[in-house]
Amino acid sequence: MGIFGQFQDEQHRARFAARARETAFGGIDRSMCGARTRGGTLCRAVPILEGKGRCLRHAGPHAARAYRERQRQQFLSGKISAEEWNRAEARRAANRLTLRWQKDPWLPGRTIDLGDAEDALRAMLRARGVNVDVLPPAVADWLRWRYRRTQIDRQSESAWLRVLNDQLPERVRRAGPRPASGAESQSETGLPLSRPARTWTPDAHGAETFSKRHNPDQPRAPKVRRGKGYLRPGRPRTQAASDDELDSLMALYREHRAIVAPMWKACRSEGDRLALLRALRDYLAAPDDPAYRDRWFAAAGRGMSA
C-alpha cells in the first residue's frame, strides 16, 4: 500500500470522499446549504436534516415546520433544555412579528429587551424631545436594535446620529399616523377581524401568539390498506370466511386430511389455506366444471411444488 492507503492518489481519495458524502444522504450534499444569496454567493450555513439539504433559513416552510416539530420532540424527551426551546420559540415569534410589522407598524409588541440600557436610551431620546412610548412599535423596536448596534455592541457616533436625524423621522413618516383606538383589531376596511391580533413580547414568552404552530400537530389519517383481510397488497384477494363456512371447510379438511395436509403445510398464509379448501370444496361439488377443476389443480400444484 502506498502513502494514499488503498487509493491511487490524492485525487482518487478526494473523489471517493465526495461520492461517499453524496450517497450517504440520498444524493444530497449535506456539508453546506448552497442556496444563492442576494450577494450572489452561495449560502454556507449548515443544512438542517429536513428538506433537501438547505439551511433553516432557505429550507422553506414545510421543512422549517418539520424542524420545529423535531425540536419539540427533543425538548419533550429532555434532549434539549427548556431554555434552548424557549429561545428558539422566541426567535420564531419575533420573526413572525417582524413580518407582520411590514404590513402594520402599529401592531404592538417588541423583539428586543435592552435591559439596563433602556433607561439610557430613553434619557438620550428625551433630550431630543422623542418619547419612545408614542412611536409606532415597529419603529421603536428598530430604534432599540440600532441603539444596541451603534452604542452597545460597538461605538459609532456618526451612525447613531444618522439614525436619529435622518432614518428615525423617515420611518415615523412612513408608518403613518396612529390608527384610531382599538385599531389593532381592525382590518383596512374598518371591519373588526374575526380574530384580534395577538403579539409576542419578551415577557410573555410567546404564550399568547397568533401562530397556528402552537396548535398540536393533527394526527395523520391512517394509511389505506389494500386487499381484504389478509394484508397482501396487490395480490389476488381471498374473502374472509364466516364461522359456518369455516366449520364446513374444517370438516372437509378432516375428511381429506391425507391429500390436503402436505399442501396445507406448504401454504404461506391463512388466505392461501382458505383458498385451498374452497378450491377443493368447489371441485368436489362439481368435478366437471372446468373453472373449478383448474382452480383446484392450480391450488394443489402450488401445494405440491412448494
**Which residue type, as a one-letter code, is found at position 249?**
L
Nearer to Zn ion, 42 or 120 (CB): 42
User: How near is the Cβ of 145 to Zn ion at its closest, in Å?
Assistant: 22
**Among 13, 30, 32, 43, contact with Zn ion (rule: CB under 5 A):** 43
Going residue by residue from 5 to 34, which x/- string records binding to Zn ion, judged by CB under 5 A? ----------------------------x-
Which span (43-51, 220-228, 238-246, 273-281) binds Zn ion, by CB under 5 A?
Answer: 43-51
Task: Compute CA distances 45 → 54, 58, 83, 118, whole Å.
Answer: 8, 9, 23, 33
**Among 51, 58, 172, 263, contact with Zn ion (rule: CB under 5 A):** 58
Nearer to Zn ion, 35 or 132 (CB): 35
The answer to whether residue 300 forms part of the interface with Zn ion (CB under 5 A) is no
Contacts 24+ apart (CB under 8 A), 29-33: 29/53, 33/57, 33/58
User: How near is the Cβ of 189 to Zn ion at its closest, in Å?
Assistant: 38
**Which residue type, as a one-letter code, is found at position 286?**
A
Nearer to Zn ion, 45 or 204 (CB): 45
CA distance 134 to 140: 9
DSSP 227-263: SSSS--TTS---PPPPHHHHHHHHHHHHHTHHHHHHH
CA distance 161 to 154: 14
User: How near is the Cβ of 44 to Zn ion at its closest, in Å?
Assistant: 8
DSSP helix/strand/coil, 104: coil
CA-based nearest residue to 178, from 125, 105, 122, 101: 105
Nearer to Zn ion, 38 or 223 (CB): 38
User: How near is the Cβ of 52 to Zn ion at its closest, in Å?
Assistant: 12
Nearer to Zn ion, 8 or 95 (CB): 95
Residues found near Zn ion in the complex (CB under 5 A): 33, 35, 43, 45, 55, 58
